[in-house]
């Protein structure tokens, strides 16, 4: 199931990390779009995009949803880094 329920329920950075790992492993093909605090889309080609990361829009193949990041560094789990 790729709805992001675990991400929505996350209360700590550790919860978020676990939920992202589960989301990534169960959803297979997914994509995300990063945004800053003001809602502007961040250019992932810019080396400093992660410094401004506030929330992401995730698409796991069953529609998309937004997730406000508890720990922005957790996004690397979705990038395969």
What's the pLDDT tens digit per position in 22-67? Answer: 887 877 767 889 999 999 999 999 999 999 999 999 887 666 788 9
- Residue 66's DSSP bridge partners are 57
pLDDT at residue 81 in the model: 59
> What is the pTM assigned to this prediction?
0.81
Look at residue 62 in the predicted model and tell me its pLDDT. 67
Cβ-based neighbours of 42, under 8 Å, separated by 6 or more: 34, 35, 36, 49, 52, 53
| Structure tokens given for 52 | 């401004």
Cβ density class 51-77: b for 16+ within 10 Å, e for less: ebbebbebbbeeeebebebbebebbeb
pLDDT value, residue 79: 79
pLDDT, position 45: 94
Quick check: 72 pLDDT over 70? yes
């Amino acid at each position: 199931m790729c709805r992001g329920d675990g991400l929505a329920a996350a209360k700590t950075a550790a919860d978020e990390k676990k939920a992202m790992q589960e989301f990534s492993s169960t959803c297979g093909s997914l994509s995300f779009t990063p945004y800053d605090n003001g809602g502007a889309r961040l250019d992932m080609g810019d080396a400093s995009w992660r410094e401004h990361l506030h929330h992401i829009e995730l698409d796991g193949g069953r529609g998309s949803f937004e997730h406000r990041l508890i720990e922005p560094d957790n996004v690397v789990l979705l990038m395969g880094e």
